[in-house]
Amino acid sequence: MFIRSLLALALSAPALATPWLTFSGCSVPSSVLQLPSNQTTLTAPSTAPNFVALGVGVQNYTCANTSTYSNTGAVAELFDISCLFKTPIFGSIQDIVFAAWSEFPNDIPITAIETGFRILGNPDVLGQHYFVKNPSGAAGNSPVFDFTSSGQFNDNKNAFILAAKAGDILSPDSKSDVDWLSLNRVSGELADQVFRVETRGGQPPASCTPGSSTDISVKYAAKYLFYGGSVKK
């Protein structure tokens, strides 16, 4: 179902000239990051990003005492989409993949998304996104972007960033999409700053029942842009 859906979406995209694309390994200009003009919370760096990735995965939630879901982290695969910047499909790749990912059976692991991606081209897996306990000992979890076990940075122990949120805004596209945000480096050498933008999905239901509602995972996709750091492609 997933592969059929992804192929149908890809071939129906009006701007897509070929079903086989080069995804990975390109440099992109600073203009790749487009932020809403009616906000001042997020500021685009003046430099170009070192990596442009599509994250595909789930946002995780637990039911809090406030009868609303509280985010406990996320798990995602990160695919290099830098070369798509040169194609018209760059603006809609998150829509194409999220639509297909939404039909993916819930018991199939996120890593299987790569199989479907092969229909569109030959993307590199840059790494994984996940959360760990806050290393400072404070409550909550911290986001990690880990490139240490994939591709050209395999076994490079410094190819990661543990980050902290610097700012966020509501998605300008839909209330069902998770926030756009910026994160700053706490440790690691992969990047100094990470942006999550052009999000699709990921928001939980509006309410839950403490004590009886189970933890949930909500599928999402988003573009991630990595700036600075000493680990280069």
DSSP of 12-32, one letter per residue? H-TT---S-B--SS----GGG
Residue 99 reports pLDDT greater than 90:
no
Residue 130 reports pLDDT greater than 90:
yes
Arithmetic mean of pLDDT, 100-109: 83
Domain limits for position 119 = 2-10+50-227
Q: Distance between CA 128 and CA 148 in Å, rounded?
A: 9
120 part of a folded domain: yes
Residue 202 reports pLDDT greater than 60:
yes
- Proportion of the chain above pLDDT 70, given as a percent: 88
Count structural domains, the chain: 1
pLDDT for position 58: 96
pLDDT for position 190: 97
233 part of a folded domain: no
Going by pLDDT thresholds of 50, 70 and 90, the confidence category of residue 139 is confident
Going by pLDDT thresholds of 50, 70 and 90, the confidence category of residue 14 is very low
38 part of a folded domain: no
107 part of a folded domain: yes
Query: What is residue 62's three-state secondary structure?
Result: strand
> What is the enclosing helix (H) or strand (E) of 99?
helix 93-103
Residue 5 reports pLDDT greater than 60:
no
pLDDT for position 16: 46
pLDDT for position 135: 84
